[in-house]
Structure 1
């Protein structure tokens, strides 16, 4: 499984907290159906509204997760991440 981080922008798409809770529930179910493990979700101060950290079996599944979020009217920027120790090993080779 690969690990991903996603920055989510909801501005103008979600009108109130109840709507956000409902949408988040739908997104979690879609992630589970794809085999995506949502490790954490965080509110963010700044340009983006939320940060998601998740594991996906492959890149195609990570794309499906992004499409699921965007189908609810939010913008999502997804990046694959690796631990610093793994990165250090890559640059040593």
Structure 2
């Protein structure tokens, strides 16, 4: 699934400064791939603190460049993220 999401994001030809939120991305490596492609404003939202912590540990020092949100997407006020590409 991460490959498809990455391909779709790449196809949009968005600027690397555009905001991207990866919903349910705690266990995903999509954020890793987006960092490799030099995207700057990344947010990962997941209901699982375990998944988020795993991703943070996996990314090491690169994790400080990401906004991490532990929440149920159904309870999130996503209007604050209306200008972000969602995956």
TM-score normalised by the chain length of structure 1: 0.29
Q: Does 1 or 2 have the higher relative contact order (CA < 8 Å, sep 6+)?
A: 1
TM-score normalised by the chain length of structure 2: 0.31
Structure label with greater radius of gyration: 1
In terms of fraction of residues, the more strand-rich structure is: 1
In terms of fraction of residues, the more helix-rich structure is: 2
